[in-house]
Amino acid sequence: MLKAVLFDLDGTLVEQEHAAALAVVDWAAQYGIKGPDVAERWAVVSDRHYRRYQRRELTFDEQRRARVREFLGLHGDDTEIDAIFDGYLWRYEAGWRLYDDAVPAVRRARAAGLHVVVFTNGNSAHQQQKLDRFRLTAEIDRFISSEDLPAGKPDPRAFRQALTLIGVEPDQALMVGDSLTNDIHGALAVGMGAVLLARSGQHADIGVRRIASLDELNW
């Protein structure tokens, strides 16, 4: 019997990838970095260092600095690098938006008697900022960041600890997210149900439950 649904945040409830792409183009131009692949190159650098943060090799602030130093080729002290990153950050945060299907899906889950959890790999404070801005905090029952767990998604320890925190067994919980590796494979590995949100039609014919919109979710 399903008792809980765990939603990923970025790319699932909140759109931030396009925000990052727009922000970095404007920001990087200030430092003479231009071209059609700026956003793609920033995404690659960001992903590499963010994964290091998720593996606990870097702190959240250290991964930000590593991204700036590699992408811009700068070697200033931490205070200087933090100030430079802030120029990207305010642009990025300004571009966040809530997906239209997010709140209706969360409300349907709660109306069905399910415990609704946001389960993210993001930094706790930064992700809470998103929840508060879009008034999602009051729409959910629990927020769990893997930053506060022994490991991040897709590590089985992250999922097991999240389930322990909400008091349900793996077969009583459903993970909904846009990452095939972090959300879907991670959840399935511990015996949870999982639904891949493929908004752009990606990952066709992969043998897992797949939807193009949260409007398609049913219990």
pLDDT tens for the 219 residues of the chain, in order = 999 999 999 999 999 999 999 999 999 999 999 999 999 999 999 999 998 998 889 999 999 999 999 999 998 999 999 999 999 999 999 999 999 999 999 999 999 999 999 999 999 999 999 999 999 999 999 999 999 998 999 999 999 999 999 999 999 999 999 999 999 999 999 999 999 999 987 777 788 899 999 999 987
The answer to whether 71 and 183 have CB atoms below 8 angstroms apart is: no
Residue 134 Ramachandran class (φ > 0 left, ψ -120 to 50 alpha, else beta): alpha
Sign of dihedral through CA atoms 91, 142, 107, 173? positive
Q: Whole-model pTM?
A: 0.92
Give the DSSP H/E element, type plus range, for residue 97. Answer: strand 97-98
Q: Which residues of 12-31 are buried (b: 16+ CB within 10 A; e: fewer)?
A: bbbbbeebbbebbbebbeee
Instruction: Report whether 183 contacts 194 (CB < 8 A).
Output: yes
